[in-house]
Amino acid sequence: MKTIFSILALIGIGLLGRLAPHPPNTTPVTAIAFAAGKYVGNVWAVVIPLLVMIIADVILGFYDWKVLMSVYGSIAIIGGISMLAKKARPSVIILLVMASSVLFFLITNFAVWAASSWYPRTLEGLIASYVAGLPFLRNMFIGDVFYAASLLGAFEWVFSRTTKEAFRPLLVSLRGRRDLNSQPPA
């Protein structure tokens, strides 16, 4: 039940984040990949963010397929990176999230340069593509760190609360036995 709820919650948060008005590239998709990898399972770290992207793109509209494939490919790679964070400390997870933002920027801006007529196919054109993408990188970086910290923190809080409640009867019974065993014999 917890897994199904987690999957549906991550899809809902992802769709809300993509469909609600937001600054460009400031969505919870990277955070969803990390949360899915940590709390739901490795396969879901790739499936859930890609599902969110595809559903949102059906609603928002698709664009140049070459650039679109670089976006989806980057999201899949980020899902793979998130698998490294399953047992990692929070500081390492945030560093992996930051690295994911940079990787997305490098891959997708390269694809825009290579697939569109916006930039000449020269080193100067590639540099111009990366320079033009810097505001999007800034937004993604800020959004990814914010959403990852918020979402992973929320999952930790919820799971710590539900785990304590789920094991409360067992803890009470164990404490009761210990208390009975610690009493001196009559």
Q: What is the pLDDT of residue 91?
A: 85
Please check whether the domain covering 2-110+137-182 is classified as CATH 1.10.1760: yes
Cα separation, 8 vs 6, in Å, equals: 6
> Residues 90, 31, 14, CA angle at the centre, nearest 5°?
155
**Cβ contacts of 111-120, under 8 Å, gap ≥ 24:** 111/66, 111/67, 111/69, 111/70, 111/71, 112/67, 114/66, 115/64, 115/66, 115/67, 115/70, 116/64, 116/67
Q: Where are the domains of the chain?
A: 2-110+137-182
Please check whether residue 50 is in contact with residue 72, taking contact to mean a CB–CB distance below 8 angstroms: yes
pLDDT at position 4: 85
Burial class (CB in 10 A: 0-12, 13-18, 19+), 163: exposed
Per-residue pLDDT of the chain (186 residues), as tens digits, is: 468 888 999 999 999 999 999 988 889 999 999 899 888 888 999 999 999 999 999 999 888 889 999 999 999 999 999 988 888 788 899 999 999 999 999 999 999 999 988 999 999 999 999 999 999 999 999 999 999 999 888 888 887 776 555 545 544 444 554 444 455 555
Q: Distance between CA 167 and CA 58 in Å, rounded?
A: 43
Q: Please state, in angstroms and rounded to a whole number, the distance separating the CA atoms of residues 165 and 174.
A: 15
Extract the runs of DSSP E, i.e. beta strands, from the chain: none
Structural contact between residues 74 and 81, judged by C-beta atoms closer than 8 angstroms: no
